[in-house]
Structure 1
């Protein structure tokens, strides 16, 4: 999320600017971002044995995370699910 409140979601088909999040989506996003402790997360959480999995990349407040969601990342997984739902709502 950028200082102006905008969010950029990137899917397989390219960028989707989601500045138009609904009030409920934005409120949930704020709550989820507060719950995620990015400093305690690994920068990369990818299974060495998995093949053909999606990768999710998050960048927020100077932190980056790349995950294939093969490992439980707690609130970060909830954040990814919410952002995916926001993207689906705009397709």
Structure 2
């Protein structure tokens, strides 16, 4: 097939997490707010991805993927998109 869809669901879990290893400071950038690094973190979090790729030819492919993950601090999430064009040789 020329077009293929992909998807995945999962969880990630922190086996060890030491908050004291994190430091967030900025003396040169004004307007930044500090991150709340406390022991109240979410140790098990959801992750998911969805994407597709299209085979332009035998050696060329266009792909796009979206990734979502829950973050350990402040119960927020992160979404990232990747798009690429691949040429084999």
Shared fold (TM-score, shorter chain, > 0.5): no
TM range (shorter): under 0.3
Structure number with larger C-alpha Rg: 2
How does the TM-score come out when normalised to structure 2? 0.26
More helix by share: 1
